[in-house]
Structure 1
Amino acid sequence: MKMASAAPVTFVFTSPNNDSNKTTCDTLYAHRDYARVFMPLFYCVVFLVGLFGNSLALHVIRPNMKKMNSTTLYSLNLVVSDILFTLSLPVRIVYYALGFHWPLGEALCKISGFVFYINTYAGVNFMTCLSVDRFIAVVLPLRFARLRNVSNVRYICVGVWLLVLAQTLPLFGMQMTNLEPDGFITCMEYPNFEKVDNVATMLIGGIFLGYVLPLLTILVSYSVLCSKLHFSAKSNRLTEKSGRSRKAIGVICCVSLVFIVCFSPYHIDILQYMIRKLVSSPDCVDLTAFQVSLHITVCLMNLNSCLDPFIYFFACKGYKRKLRKLLKLHVSMSFSSAVRTSPEGSSKDILDGNKIQLNSCTVGSTSERLTERRDGVPPLEDSVKLDQVGTISNLVDS
């Protein structure tokens, strides 16, 4: 049934549970013919690249579990959440390929939605934890060192999962499937939640907790970090000449940009519509436009798990080495014994006179670090590990 050219029509029906009239719109899925082609293709790419890339990241992190530190632990949880997220995509691919039709029942719809959302926002929260962890390691290494203690970080990770679980559990109390007038059964679509009381207020609160606060934390942490790296490089010729600070700042900006580009459109889209819903009554045309925009912005948000492996590749030599081995593209590289690292690229940095175990990429030569210690300058603070959805790198690999 061709619906792309249909004009917006509003049906009025009476709910069997009460006598009030409710409305539904018949153009919410008028883009079905296009979506059933492009959305499955898009999510297939996200699934394949995301699963392969994040599995490789897990393979790089795993050998460093014996040298567990705060960054390794946060990175591990982040990569696991990305992998679980990609594993939830196949049923969504089938759903979109069938033209927004869910034949698997209410229970599986709730489970898929639960896995989808809990891992999306677990990823956001662990990205935030990593930004704060890097901020503390470089800017406040002594005052808040206890927050980077592995035993404390384990509790923080458990707390993050419990927080996201608490935010997502209400989904099980909602009806997530809906029989549409055209006979299709939709799953996890916004119109299915319109019947929930105070849905606008709940979603606005969720956006501030799940997006606005993490975004502000990440931007503030990385901005201060970039500033410190910049002035550190200016005060030390070796650091400035090596270009590692510039690379670290560049990757920090890339990490922040990817986060903003992937997550902002979706949350801003929901926020503006919920505000309009509170102050007015959007009609069928408005709801249809919002529904189409949600499908687009959700795709963009999910692209995040697919982009992470590219950040790993450009930021971490250990990741590149593993990938080249898997692709049989071995590149002969000669290193002096002073700069040779383990296969996983593990290394040690000294920041503000305190040893901080880092576990990914080459930080610099021994002589360079010793020179910086004599000069009283923190050694290449651009060796800070950063992550946007699971990076395991120090961002100083040259």
Structure 2
Amino acid sequence: MERNVSSPLNVTIAPTQLPQLNTTGDINATVKPFSVFDGCDHQVEGILFDLTLQCINVFIGIPANLLVLAVLIRNRKEPSTSDMFLGCLAFMDFYFSTMPPLNFINLYHWQSKGVWSAIKFSYGVKDTSGPLFLSCICLDRFVAVLFPIQFGQLKHIKYRLSLSVLVLCLTFAYSAAKTVGGLPNFEKVFTGEILATFTWMVVCNLSILWALKRSRSAGKDEMHPMKRKAFKMVLSILCIIVFNYLPPVALFPFEDYYSPDVFRCYVQPVGFAFLNISSTIQPLVYLCRLEMLSFLSETCVKKCCPCVTAGNNKTPPEQKLNT
């Protein structure tokens, strides 16, 4: 789906030369010059809302994703089966979070078609990599909880490496097509993707939560430490899915009910804004789920992640070693 960016500053047009007396054809039939604002010059509120949230990605998302990558690298000797997907997701979110400054400069100063193409490519990366890699994480957890025997047979890294390469190929193919533009009904591709991945992730995570709740030992209120860890991971992913992906899922399928200008300049930017801010929310949720944040002070952890801290305080020392 094409993203459109506008600005109230681009409301003047350079004066054109007077038509020659021997000019034939319609005088008004002029070639439309390139513009990074793409028709939303007087309807900027939704776009500014999106860019404001993207600024949060710059100041919080970049260090948070770098911290996630550092944690994954530190734990590379004892990796989780989902670490490859988490690492790819964090790297893609880091890449996308570095683009807003370039976007602002291009909007108000450069107005370069080449830079705008690079920005559109980053939007395509964000549109595709986030939902697909989250779906991979959900698939990994789904098989681990509901089909543990098959999961043990599929633990080899080659399976996750192959799936990651497939996701990256789909991501770059979609991003390249988005950059080129002009493909008929191309926006329907993203709508179909987001609907499919949202449905899969919700059903998958609800199934996992139900299975984990049901697997408690008879007469015991406490869940096994490993299952409790998986439960918190799945619950956090479900929260991310609902908050970040529900708005575009709820808005984009009803494109035909909006006027083209309203959909392009208001509905799209607001829906994408919730999707874009996931570049900050996803790494923060992951870091808050960690039982030990050695990179942060204990005071900071208590303020940012009170639920995780409280859960750790209730966990006996011998159980902590097993998680």
Which residue of the other structure, out of 278, 282, 287, is the alignment partner of 1:304? 278
Deviation, 1:13, is 5.9
Q: Distance in 2 between matches of 1:334 and 1:224?
A: 27
Partner of 1:67: 78
Q: Which residue of 2 aligns with 1:206?
A: 190
Matched residue count: 286
Q: Structure 2 stretches of 5 or more lacking a match?
A: 1-6, 10-26, 33-37, 303-308
Query: Residue 76 of structure 2 aligns to a residue in which SS?
Result: helix
Provide the C-alpha distance between the structure 2 equivalents of 1:105 and 1:149, rounded to a whole number of angstroms: 46
With normalisation by structure 2, the TM-score equals 0.74
In the alignment, what sits opposite 2:35?
A: none
Query: Residue 218 in 1 paired to residue 225 in 2?
Result: no
Tell me what 1:357 maps to: none
* Alignment CA distance shift 1:146-1:13 (3 Å): farther
CA distance in structure 1 between the partners assigned to 2:150 and 2:160 by the alignment: 16
Which residue in the other structure is 1:315 paired with? 289
Query: Is structure 2 residue 318 aligned with structure 1 residue 338?
Result: yes
Q: Does 1:270 align with 2:213?
A: no
Q: Deviations over 1:22-53 (max 9, x none)?
A: xxxx9833234x57876554332222111111
**Matching residue within 124, 132, 155 for 2:162:** 155
What root-mean-square deviation, in Å, do the aligned CA atoms of Structure 1 and Structure 2 show?
3.7
- SS of the residue corresponding to residue 149 of structure 2 reads coil
Match of 1:386 in 2: none
Q: Is the 8 A contact 2:51 2:100 kept in 1?
A: no
SS of residue paired to 1:317: coil
1:147 and 1:93 map into 2 onto residues whose CA distance is 45
CA shift in 2, pair 1:95/1:339, >3 Å:
same
- The 2-side partners of 1:251 and 1:340 are apart by 16
The equivalences for 1:1-398 within 5 A come to 14=29, 28-32=40-44, 40-95=51-106, 98=108, 103-174=110-181, 196=182, 198-199=184-185, 202-208=186-192, 210-233=193-216, 235=218, 237=220, 239-240=222-223, 249=231, 252-273=234-255, 275=256, 286-290=259-263, 291-318=265-292, 320-324=293-297, 338-339=318-319, 341=321, 363=323
Shift of 1:311: 1.5
Distance 1:214 1:328 in 2: 32
With over 3 angstroms needed to count, the CA separation of the structure-2 counterparts of 1:334 and 1:206, relative to structure 1, is closer
**AA partner of residue 190 (structure 2):** G
Deviations 1:330-364 (A, max 9, x none): x9x899763454xxxxx5xxxxxxxxxxxxxxx3x
Tell me how far 1:245 sits from its aligned partner: 6.7
Query: Which range is displaced more, 62-71 or 296-305?
Result: 62-71
SS at match of 1:265: helix
| Letter in structure 2 aligned against 1:167 | Y
Q: Shift of the alpha carbon at 1:302?
A: 1.0
Q: Secondary structure at the match of 2:295?
A: helix
Going from structure 1 to structure 2, the CA distance change for 1:69 and 1:171 (only over 3 Å counts) comes to same
Q: Distance in 1 between matches of 2:229 and 2:96?
A: 30
User: Does the CA contact (< 8 Å) of 1:50 and 1:305 recur in 2?
Assistant: yes
Structure of greater relative contact order (alpha carbons < 8 Å, 6+ residues apart): 2
Deviations 1:239-276 (A, max 9, x none): 35x89978865663443233233223234433321x45
- Is contact 1:239–1:245 with CA below 8 Å preserved after alignment? no
Tell me, in whole angstroms, the C-alpha distance in 2 between the residues paired with 1:229 and 1:340.
19
1:115 to partner: Cα distance: 2.0
Percent of paired sites with the same residue: 15
The alignment partner of 1:198 has SS state of coil
1:84–1:119 contact (8 Å) kept in structure 2: no
* Runs of at least 5 residues in structure 1 that lack an aligned partner in the other structure: 4-11, 18-25, 175-195, 277-281, 342-346, 348-362, 364-398
Counterparts in 2 of 1:173 and 1:305: CA distance versus 1, 3 Å? closer
Preserved contact between residue 81 and residue 122 of structure 1 (Cα < 8 Å): yes
Match for 2:282: what amino acid?
D
Deviation at 1:222, TM superposition (A): 0.9
Instruction: Specify which structure has the higher proportion of helix.
Output: 2
Say if 1:328 and 1:198 are closer, same or farther in 2 by CA, change over 3 A: closer
Preserved CA contact (<8 Å) 1:74 1:157? yes
Q: 1:113, CA displacement in angstroms?
A: 1.3
**Contact 1:219/1:256 (<8 A) preserved:** yes
Question: Contact between 2:106 and 2:115, CA under 8 Å: does it hold in 1?
Answer: no
Asked whether the equivalents of residues 46 and 266 of structure 2 are also in contact (C-alpha less than 8 Å), the reply is no
Structure (1 or 2) with the greater strand fraction? 1
Q: Under a length normalisation based on structure 1, what TM-score does the superposition of the two structures give?
A: 0.61
Tell me by how many angstroms 1:155 deviates.
Answer: 1.2
Supply the AA of the counterpart residue of 2:72. Answer: I
In structure 2, C-alpha distance between the alignment counterparts of 1:130 and 1:37, rounded to whole Å:
32
Q: In structure 2, how many angstroms separate the alpha carbons of the residues matched to 1:154 and 1:239?
A: 35
**Distance of 2:299 and 2:114 partners within structure 1:** 39
Residue 206 of structure 1 and its aligned partner are, at CA, apart by 3.3
TM-fit CA distance, 1:129: 0.4
Q: Distance in 2 between matches of 1:328 and 1:224?
A: 30
